[in-house]
Structure 1
Amino acid sequence: MKMEELAKVGGYKVPAAHHPFMRLGLEKLDLFHAEIADLEATLQDVVKLGGQDSEKKSAKLIKQLRSFEPSITMIGQIKAGKTSLVNAMVGRPDLLPADVNPWTSVVTSLHLNAALPADAPTATFQFFNKDEWDHLIENGGRIGELSARAGADEEMEKIRLQIAEMRDKTKRRLGRKFELLLGQKHNYAELNDDLVQRYVCMGDDFDDLDASGQQGRFADITKSADIYLTAATIPMPLCLRDTPGVNDTFMMREQITINALRDSRICVVVLSAHQALSSMDMGLIRLISNVKSREVVIFVNRIDELANPAEQVPEIRDSILQTLIDNNGPETPELIFGSAYWANIALGDNLDAIVADSAEAMFNWAEASLSAQTADMGTKELVWHLSGLPALFGAISDRITDGPGAEILTAARKRALNLIGGVRASSSIVSMRLEGDTVTVMPHNQLVQRLDRIAQTQINQLNDRLDSVFQQFGSRVDQSHRRFLDRALESLLQHLESRGEDEVWQYSPDGLRILLRTSYQVMRRNATMACDQVFAAASDDLSETYRAAFGVAVENFKITPPAAPDIPAPVTLGQTIALDLQTSWWKGWWKRRKGYRAFASGFYDLIEAETAPITAELKDRQTMDIRAMAERELREFLDEQRALLTDISEKSSLHLDDLKDIFGITAQQERAEIFDYIIDELTAQTHAAPQGPDQ
């Protein structure tokens, strides 16, 4: 690689979102998209085989494939450059404001290449509802609740003053409309910079408004933003979710980030090379500790600001890994080093715009990281490569194709197999009748009753099995919770006996998190097993119904059960609780108590109240969501099979003249050969496909 090339003013003027080098790292997504296209073509063949009766079912499955939109949640430190990185990833350096006030940051979801109706909005902004706003204003959010329980009057007074300032300035900007706006959603057909600034950005000064007073007008009450863009270099729909930092005054953004993580299978943690992981980031480590290690990517940004990246990067890597080990973080996560600044420079028109110190850092990093494979790259392509964006895209592509991508393909192939099996059974009925054979068919009412019994039996079986799994899980959670409180109380008493009341006692709640995470993993395995067993039993019942209803033995015919739903990670375990905050309010709580009994009862009540919402979230909301997902999967499977069986039943009663035109392909032998080919291909692909990361 010729080092002097990096100093050239170069490049060609291409719209930022269309730079060819932006495709680096996306090769696996290209292959995945090709597999989706192949499956769509197979489903079109099914339409030809089954005619109008299978067209709607195939069209529905094709629509689901096209709407598959894996999401990547970006979390990290404030000022680590998350937003600049997201802007670079979509090829639009100035899309989202990178310098916003911590109080006004919102979750911003960039939906790339989403399949939308023609009249769908390009941007949607959702405001906090009245209950959410009142919780912040009246209680001070999570930190307010915590301080109130601890009796931290001084801390509460600071929060009240900060909230009052925010509330007054918000009302001054919005006037009488303020109350009416809460809970509303604003949709826009076109996106522009002023629009984003109005809802997302306020800058670092509340009073720093533009001449029209529109900048940041709705920023305080905006909860989330959804923006729909076309990204020509990315071969499929993708959602990039930019979240606020997690270390905010009210912990409101921590909860918002937790909710965003729930909705994603892939998490990119953005750190600053200057503060890779510090004591300020324990909240960040707690969050990612509860996501599967395979689904976490750490991007260390801003290496352009290092004096000697070649020497400092290995040191930073070792420091991050050791910090994660010391604090029970994800094991062996993928670490990528780069610079969003360099990426956005590569997307611009003039490489001379680069800051001198950053250029020196780039030369230093290039000497250490470039290889013979980059020798033929152009100048901008080299800068893009050094920015780390290709490596980040490669890591994301791996996780999509091996995880949710593999799962959606396997599920779609199973459904396609069931569809082609039904069409083939229907074709056999038609063939026999056209050839003059007598076909004995179960009466329609009897068939419907049988299907009703199967559905009711299997749904009841599913709920019974999940009841047992969740009951065991709840008992384990309660037991772990009591054990933790008892151990912590014992530690507190030992501290008081050995060191007295003057020295502040500290105790980490990580032990509770580990116990609860282990219980959750056991529950996840048991719930998946229960779903697999019930889905297989439903498949067997339906296969037997085909034979009983039509008396036709179809070669290679079987019903393939759906896969158990993916159970989300217990990200709520990352929520901050009192023992995580060894700050002034904790010392205040300690000093206000006198006597062992006061310490013991006060501590037990405080920590029990703090941790009870976490255990309740796991036992109630998480299990309720898992049950709903499992039941929805089973009902959809049963409904699809019901439609296929009733279609066949109706064909058995059609007039012979109508049967002759029922399929697009009339030659029965040709149809049989195509059936065999499609079934063999789908079966081979389903068995060969990776099943995603371990549960």
Structure 2
Amino acid sequence: MVTPATVQSHRRALDKFELTKSKDAKRAIEQLVRVSDKMEKMVVPGALDRTLEIQKRLSKFETRISLVGQVKAGKTALANAMIGQPGLLPSDVNPWTSVITSLHMNTAQPAGKSAVFQFFDKEEWSEMTTMGGRLGELAARTNFEDEAEEMRDQVRELQGRAKQRLGVNFKLLLGNTHSFGEFDHGLVKRYVCLGDDDETGNGSNGRFADLTKSADLYFDNPQFPLPVVIRDTPGVNDPFLVREAVTLNNLAETDICVICLSAHQALSTVDIGLINIIMGLQHEQIILFVNRIDELEDPHRQINEIDSYIRRTLKTQKLPQDIPIVFGSAKWGQADISGDYDALSEQSRAAYQSLKDSRASSGNVTRLPNGKSAVESDLSGISQLMKVIDAKSAHDVSWPFIEKLRDECLDLVNQSTLLLRDAVGSQNTAGATMSASDLSARIAQIISKLNDDYDALTKSSLKMTTYAMSDVYRSFILNGKRDLEKLVDKGEGLKQWSPETETLRRDLISAYNNFSNKCTAQLREIMQETADSIAGLYADVLGTESGLFPVVGPTFSRPKTPVFLMKTMTIDLSTGWLGRMFSKQRKKATYVANFEKLATEEMAATIHDLQQDYIQEFATQTRVQLQGFMDEHIKTLRNLVLPADAPEVAQMRQSFGLEREVTQRIAALDEIRDALHHVTRHDCDISHLSVTAI
């Protein structure tokens, strides 16, 4: 059985998996932890809550990696190889019953629990077949109730099997969890793999799988310097729309997305569609891993051919050219970990030897940190993949997080230092000409301008997205109508006709990303202007020509990933069925009108979801951040202009301690400030990652 304390790391882990970028980031995070612990004792009482909140965020930091791809692409085997546990997760999972399995490396975990399996609740289970669920919603909008009923029958079959298998326990399990202090392959298989279809329904495999919503497994793994969560997903095209929602919510929260392709069919039409969907993420988050090269006859030659094909296809499809591509074999990776190469098929061993010989003779050898060559140690591609993940994680996840918290710590240290110096009279506030009433008036002006600018940005964002999304849909509708009219005029059949929904998704995501980038940039400008105004106010209050320190405003992330653009659309559900419906019509105008009605309804739903669930939510969250930032500085400024004999001043100074203690705290805060200035990003250049790793 596996417990967090007994997980074996990779064989030769230190040789192959030197995650140097993450180690640098780990040292910086550890430094921030030490600094925040000191701050807890030294900052003024008004800064304590934010200091404790920073400590909490540091303790919960993790990099989230999602593995996605088609069935049989080898995602699960890849997950096993990445964590150094060959065979732990069952790789024969039926796509209809697979669940999101999260592998938590060195993260916080439930007390005494190493494995937690969450079941669907009663409402989610019911939604699979009722008209109130997403399937019913789509069926009602498309008038394809017959086809939707076919899907319901498939769901009912699964539900019936689950009820038969679980008996009286079925209802008791809904909405509950099963937790274990240890686990092994057999236990995991009961919850995530298709069950035995025996007559008694008492098969051990997959007993609970039909009901499982998610699985969380926890490990202590020294291979990973920082906490990491690797999620093995069933993909975004799962037939169950309930599981689709779970997968999309996961993608919305991912930091790095590894798209697993099969070397036999790298970048098929389905893969292109998957990449287009996932482009809702920033493309910097995407890595392509071409798996199963062990099944190629001449891997050395074919890898180069496949790489060229993928690059050409990306260019043709107008997809980013700098997405890293790594070639490898999860089977070889697992064999390398276990040392059991005899478990590989004869073909796989032959391909391994062929690639090793070809690389040695060609001189195409990558040197690893210990001096070994890729010929001997990296045919699987796993270490190359981990190095790419390491670089991306440090550059795009760890260091932005570190720098954001470092700046927040500096802001708290500066505010505390200012108040403490004022308390012992080392800051000449007595000469300041600004009264409390003048300060209030200035603060009111800053807040008024901030609110006006923010309201204007929110209003323009709503308008901007309406126009942008409408333009994309209008182009889609016009092109679809034109194609339909041509087919009708030529007298060709429409049964297999379907609109270009992948192009629609790509254009919608592109429009959303353009909006998101502009909105975030404008928000940062507003925040910087506000921070500069606050800094100027400090200078006026203290009677200095310039601020004693730069005021750092909160850092805003981009609006969340638009997963609503990835989910099954009405038009997707209609693909193929549109032609059947159109075949019952006779007039060209009817064909065109039906298509236009369907697309227009989808457009209205898209714009509504975007404005309500994304823009308004983002506006609310960022306004709360802004308000918190303003409240803290307003409190500090008002304390600075209080009369020396004011009761509040006496109370505040009493809370700081004796003059000698205050002086010591100021000195300690100065040291903390110096330490924070030394928390700087090391070399995290990732420009080389677009080069194919083979």
Question: Aligning the two structures, in what range does the TM-score lie when normalised by the shorter sequence?
Answer: 0.7 to 0.9
Match of 1:15 in 2: 8
The verdict on how the C-alpha distance between 1:207 and 1:667 changes in structure 2, with shifts beyond 3 A counting, is same
Match of 1:9 in 2: none
SS across alignment from 1:103: coil
Letter of the 1:312 partner, please give it: Q
Partners in 2 of 1:503 and 1:352 — Cα distance?
A: 51
In the TM superposition, 1:495-514 aligns within 5 A as: 495-499=487-491, 505-514=497-506
Letter of the 1:197 partner, please give it: K
Match of 2:218 in 1: 228
2:127 to 115, 135, 143: 135
Match of 2:517 in 1: 525
Partners in 1 of 2:657 and 2:70 — Cα distance?
A: 67
Match of 1:216 in 2: 206
Letter of the 2:194 partner, please give it: M
The verdict on how the C-alpha distance between 1:266 and 1:675 changes in structure 2, with shifts beyond 3 A counting, is closer
Deviation at 1:526, TM superposition (A): 2.8
In the TM superposition, 1:458-497 aligns within 5 A as: 458=450, 461-497=453-489
Match of 1:305 in 2: 295
SS across alignment from 1:319: helix
2:367 to 348, 373, 385: 373
Match of 2:81 in 1: 88
Match of 2:60 in 1: 67
Partners in 1 of 2:208 and 2:666 — Cα distance?
A: 66
SS across alignment from 1:104: coil
Partners in 2 of 1:220 and 1:600 — Cα distance?
A: 41
Asked if 1:290 corresponds to 2:280, the answer is: yes
Listed as ranges, the gaps of 5+ residues in structure 1 are 1-12
SS across alignment from 2:225: coil
**TM-score by structure 1 length?**
0.84
Deviation at 1:652, TM superposition (A): 3.8
Match of 1:333 in 2: 323
Letter of the 1:588 partner, please give it: R
Q: Would the aligned equivalents of 1:404 and 1:692 in 2 still touch at CA under 8 Å?
A: no
Partners in 2 of 1:644 and 1:208 — Cα distance?
A: 73
Return 407-416 or 248-257, whichever deviates more: 248-257
Match of 1:588 in 2: 580
SS across alignment from 2:410: helix
Q: Would the aligned equivalents of 1:422 and 1:644 in 2 still touch at CA under 8 Å?
A: yes
Q: Would the aligned equivalents of 1:46 and 1:54 in 2 still touch at CA under 8 Å?
A: no
The verdict on how the C-alpha distance between 1:437 and 1:296 changes in structure 2, with shifts beyond 3 A counting, is closer
Listed as ranges, the gaps of 5+ residues in structure 2 are 1-5, 689-694
In the TM superposition, 1:223-622 aligns within 5 A as: 223-369=213-359, 371=365, 373=367, 385-432=378-425, 458=450, 461-499=453-491, 505-544=497-536, 546=538, 556-577=548-569, 584-622=576-614
Letter of the 2:581 partner, please give it: W
Partners in 2 of 1:302 and 1:209 — Cα distance?
A: 37
The verdict on how the C-alpha distance between 1:575 and 1:131 changes in structure 2, with shifts beyond 3 A counting, is same
The verdict on how the C-alpha distance between 1:154 and 1:658 changes in structure 2, with shifts beyond 3 A counting, is closer
Cα deviation 1:498-530 (Å, max 9, x = unaligned): 435678544313443344234313321332133
SS across alignment from 1:241: strand
Q: Percent identity?
A: 30
Match of 2:650 in 1: 653
Deviation at 1:209, TM superposition (A): 8.6
Match of 2:692 in 1: none
How many pairs does the alignment contain? 674
Partners in 2 of 1:375 and 1:446 — Cα distance?
A: 63
Deviation at 1:439, TM superposition (A): 8.5
Letter of the 1:86 partner, please give it: A
Deviation at 1:76, TM superposition (A): 0.2
Cα deviation 1:533-574 (Å, max 9, x = unaligned): 332244244435545666688973231112222233434433
Partners in 1 of 2:108 and 2:159 — Cα distance?
A: 39
Q: Would the aligned equivalents of 2:289 and 2:327 in 1 still touch at CA under 8 Å?
A: yes
Q: Would the aligned equivalents of 1:346 and 1:383 in 2 still touch at CA under 8 Å?
A: no
Q: Would the aligned equivalents of 1:470 and 1:619 in 2 still touch at CA under 8 Å?
A: yes
Partners in 1 of 2:681 and 2:661 — Cα distance?
A: 27
Deviation at 1:126, TM superposition (A): 2.8
Return 412-421 or 467-476, whichever deviates more: 467-476
Letter of the 1:264 partner, please give it: T
Match of 2:3 in 1: none
Letter of the 1:70 partner, please give it: T
Cα deviation 1:411-446 (Å, max 9, x = unaligned): 11211220121122023213317x999698999999
Letter of the 2:121 partner, please give it: N
Q: Would the aligned equivalents of 1:84 and 1:340 in 2 still touch at CA under 8 Å?
A: yes
Deviation at 1:341, TM superposition (A): 0.9
Deviation at 1:145, TM superposition (A): 5.9
Return 670-679 or 416-425, whichever deviates more: 670-679
Q: Would the aligned equivalents of 1:143 and 1:249 in 2 still touch at CA under 8 Å?
A: no
Deviation at 1:295, TM superposition (A): 1.4
Cα deviation 1:466-523 (Å, max 9, x = unaligned): 2222222123323432343244224322332243567854431344334423431332
SS across alignment from 1:413: helix
Q: Would the aligned equivalents of 2:481 and 2:596 in 1 still touch at CA under 8 Å?
A: yes
The verdict on how the C-alpha distance between 1:444 and 1:69 changes in structure 2, with shifts beyond 3 A counting, is farther
Partners in 2 of 1:566 and 1:655 — Cα distance?
A: 39
SS across alignment from 2:213: strand
Give me the CA root mean square deviation. 4.1
Q: Would the aligned equivalents of 2:116 and 2:217 in 1 still touch at CA under 8 Å?
A: yes
SS across alignment from 1:125: strand
SS across alignment from 2:214: strand
Deviation at 1:86, TM superposition (A): 0.9
Letter of the 1:362 partner, please give it: Y
Letter of the 2:422 partner, please give it: I
Partners in 2 of 1:178 and 1:668 — Cα distance?
A: 61
The verdict on how the C-alpha distance between 1:192 and 1:24 changes in structure 2, with shifts beyond 3 A counting, is closer
Cα deviation 1:603-634 (Å, max 9, x = unaligned): 22333344543343323322133224422432
Match of 1:7 in 2: none
Partners in 2 of 1:207 and 1:452 — Cα distance?
A: 73
